[in-house]
Amino acid sequence: MTYIYPELNSSQINTLVNEINHYSLSNGLVMYKDLENLKNETAVAPVTLYPTILPKKSFEKAVAIQKAYNELYANILLDNTNWLDTVIKSISEFDADFTGKLYELYLKYQNDTTYKKQNKELGIFRNDFLLHENKDKTYDLKEVEFNTISVSFGALSTKVSALHSFLHESGYYKGEVKSSFDERNLEVPVSDSLANIASSIKYGVDTFETQQNIKNTIVLFVVQPNERNVFDQRLIEYELFNKYKIKAKRITIDEVEGKINKKQDSYLYYNDDVISLVYFRSCYSPNDFQSEKSWNNRLFLETSLAIKTPTLKMQLAGSKKIQQLVSSPEILEKFISDKETSNNLLNTFVKIHPLDDSAEGKYAKELINQNDSKVLDNFVLKPQREGGGNNIYKSDIYPFLKENIPDEKEWAGYILMELINAQPTKGNTILRNNQLYNVDILSELGIFGTVLIDTDTKKIEYNSYDGWLLRSKLSDSNEGGVAAGFGCVDSIALV
Ligand code: ADP
Ligand code: MG
């Protein structure tokens, strides 16, 4: 797409950068500078100078379909045929170190009779999309992945979109040459993800307090020990306090033993405070579990009456394998009975192949074994992992599998996904550590959503759309983790 971004002279750019720095530092659009110096040095989060232009129709479609996605994952969890358990059990064999461990904990939790179980589960999700360019130059949003644990940037998204809206409305995008940004009808929306995520957590707290007939409970944030993106989490915590007077405590998974107690009432306690909800911003990757103690602590939290966001089972529902399976119409219709809804969902999926012993799996393995770069250049190979940096792209797929996993049976722990043909945007600029990068960028749209389900009554009690996020990265880097250092937070201008 070629849209015109502002063309500012160097003095106008300097003014703009100064405005961005002041706004970001005043409003918490920041991250810790580096891991060595987590204590005090913050830096303005990497951002784009301008919001990235996106077709309004595509954006609205992504927003409109979020509740259907929420429902799909809720129904997978509420299903009473053990479908999820069976699938997870089968991939556990091929990813023993992580999926296998989570599944083992989940089984231990199920068999635990010492503590009462919580029948409510709160899911705060983020569904990620790229804009696929078709051969005829039309565009369709296609799903990258559905995240069920530790979805990030809900708070910074509100901040960066508010920043871009402020700059736009204040005239800082007006250059010497008239651009699309000068036109009054260009809409620069603000994402309400920060407020909505906090209100979803509040819904979880209220649910617990009503159910247990108790007041003044607190929320436990389980966080990573070395987190640069702390402020994205703390902004949610402050929103909870400022709006609802709900207090929160932050601990790492290894600090659970020693700081958190569980009594015979099955409640979790932080000192004398009852914890109504455990909100995980950690425990999604093997690195988060440094020792057996970490795993034991995770189980300790699960086997309690506190509501977990997410439960182990809900976390496992976010596996790449589940995404691959529900992309098939036969499986999808098991969970979404309304034809129109399932068709809308299907339209957002690209082809995802299994690499197991099924007929389709054999076909995909054959595809890989032919090692034809023309074919494999259209695919990405994904293991059952979260958090970036795990995928294998294009011509790396064949040598990776041949060298690392000689036994083809074990390829079943991976999925082979068609690459989405996302086209770079020209004309925007990334600001990172006070350096400007006028580069082509690729943008990924995330849509936040919440469900609260009751596993006894098998009902979805709450289903909401919670705002959006745009992350952009240099178009020549395959992965774009903002905290990991390749990407930045962005926002959208709708045309
Ligand atoms: P993770 O769980 O590690 O975040 P993702 O599935 O989100 O894994 O993939 C990481 C990144 O790789 C995405 O943000 C996107 O930039 C790129 N990517 C993943 N799948 C595709 C795809 N099908 N087409 C194009 N890019 C993709
Ligand atoms: Mg991702």
Taking only the tens place, the pLDDT of each residue in 325-353 is 999 999 999 999 999 999 999 999 999 99
Instruction: Classify residue 72: in a domain, yes or no.
Output: yes
Q: How far is the CA of 131 from the centre of ligand 2 (A)?
A: 15
Is the Cβ atom of 380 under 6 angstroms away from ligand 1? yes
Instruction: Count structural domains, the chain.
Output: 2
> Do 265 and 401 have their domain in common?
no
Is the Cβ atom of 469 under 6 angstroms away from ligand 1? no
Is the Cβ atom of 386 under 6 angstroms away from ligand 1? yes
Instruction: Classify residue 4: in a domain, yes or no.
Output: no
User: Above 90 in pLDDT, residue 181?
Assistant: no
For residues 279 and 201, is the Cβ–Cβ distance under 8 A?
yes
> pLDDT tens across 194-243, in order?
999 999 999 999 999 999 999 999 999 999 998 999 999 999 999 999 99
Q: What is the pLDDT of residue 4?
A: 82
Give the domain-ending residue among 370, 396, 419. 419
Is the Cβ atom of 378 under 6 angstroms away from ligand 1? no
> pLDDT tens across 346-389, in order?
999 999 999 999 999 999 999 999 999 999 999 999 999 888 88
User: Above 80 in pLDDT, residue 494?
Assistant: yes
> Do 275 and 376 have their domain in common?
no
Is the Cβ atom of 391 under 6 angstroms away from ligand 1? yes
Q: How far is the CA of 386 from the centre of ligand 2 (A)?
A: 7
Is the Cβ atom of 479 under 6 angstroms away from ligand 1? yes
Q: How far is the CA of 128 from the centre of ligand 1 (A)?
A: 9
Q: What is the pLDDT of residue 179?
A: 78
Is the Cβ atom of 387 under 6 angstroms away from ligand 1? yes
Q: How far is the CA of 214 from the centre of ligand 1 (A)?
A: 42
> Do 148 and 228 have their domain in common?
yes
Instruction: Classify residue 424: in a domain, yes or no.
Output: no
For residues 101 and 295, is the Cβ–Cβ distance under 8 A?
yes
Distance CA 400, CA 379 (A): 13
User: Above 80 in pLDDT, residue 152?
Assistant: yes
CA dihedral 69, 124, 386, 407 (to 10 degrees): -50
Instruction: Classify residue 477: in a domain, yes or no.
Output: yes
Q: What is the mean pLDDT of the chain?
A: 94
> Do 403 and 334 have their domain in common?
no
> Do 197 and 95 have their domain in common?
yes
> Do 56 and 115 have their domain in common?
yes
Residue closest by Cα to atom 16 of ligand 1: 479
Residue closest by Cα to atom 22 of ligand 1: 419
Is the Cβ atom of 419 under 6 angstroms away from ligand 1? yes
Closest approach atom of ligand 1 to CA 350: 23
Other beta carbons less than 10 A from residue 269's beta carbon: 17
Instruction: Classify residue 450: in a domain, yes or no.
Output: yes
Instruction: Classify residue 5: in a domain, yes or no.
Output: no
Site to probe by mutation for ligand 1, drawn from 152, 316, 380 as the one with most ligand atoms within 8 Å of Cβ, is: 380
User: Range of 250's domain?
Assistant: 10-350+429-494
**Which pair of tokens denotes residue 347?**
């339209």
Residue closest by Cα to atom 5 of ligand 1: 145
pTM, full prediction: 0.96
Q: How far is the CA of 130 from the centre of ligand 1 (A)?
A: 9
> Do 386 and 485 have their domain in common?
no
> Do 44 and 59 have their domain in common?
yes
Residue closest by Cα to atom 23 of ligand 1: 419
Q: Length of the chain, please?
A: 495
Closest approach atom of ligand 1 to CA 471: 14
Instruction: Classify residue 462: in a domain, yes or no.
Output: yes
Instruction: Classify residue 106: in a domain, yes or no.
Output: yes
User: Above 80 in pLDDT, residue 3?
Assistant: no
Is the Cβ atom of 131 under 6 angstroms away from ligand 1? no
Distance CA 46, CA 446 (A): 17
Is the Cβ atom of 133 under 6 angstroms away from ligand 1? no
Angle of helix 359-369 versus helix 397-404 axis, rounded to 10 = 100
Give the domain-ending residue among 398, 419, 440. 419
Phi-psi region of 448 (alpha: psi -120 to 50; beta: other; left: phi over 0): beta
Q: What is the pLDDT confidence band of residue 178, given thresholds at 50, 70 and 90?
A: confident
Which stretch of 270-284, 383-397, 454-468 has the lowest confidence by average pLDDT? Answer: 383-397
Residue closest by Cα to atom 6 of ligand 1: 145
Q: Which ligand has an atom closest to residue 143 CA? A: 1
Is the Cβ atom of 420 under 6 angstroms away from ligand 1? yes
Kindly give the pairing relationship between strand 379-382 and strand 307-309. Answer: unpaired
Site to probe by mutation for ligand 1, drawn from 145, 146, 394, 486 as the one with most ligand atoms within 8 Å of Cβ, is: 145
Q: How far is the CA of 478 from the centre of ligand 1 (A)?
A: 8
Q: What is the pLDDT of residue 412?
A: 96
> Do 92 and 130 have their domain in common?
yes
Is the Cβ atom of 474 under 6 angstroms away from ligand 1? no
Give the domain-ending residue among 369, 397, 419. 419
Q: What is the pLDDT of residue 180?
A: 76
Distance CA 65, CA 465 (A): 9
CATH number at residue 369: 3.30.1490.50
Closest approach atom of ligand 1 to CA 387: 3
> Do 158 and 259 have their domain in common?
yes
Q: How far is the CA of 371 from the centre of ligand 1 (A)?
A: 22
Closest approach atom of ligand 1 to CA 128: 7
For residues 481 and 389, is the Cβ–Cβ distance under 8 A?
yes
Closest CA to 71 of 142, 141, 125: 125
Q: How far is the CA of 144 from the centre of ligand 1 (A)?
A: 6
Is the Cβ atom of 144 under 6 angstroms away from ligand 1? yes
Q: What is the pLDDT of residue 485?
A: 53
> Do 78 and 224 have their domain in common?
yes
Angle at 153 between CA 293 and CA 6, to 5 degrees: 155
Closest CA to 160 of 125, 193, 182: 193
> Do 299 and 433 have their domain in common?
yes
Residue closest by Cα to atom 18 of ligand 1: 144
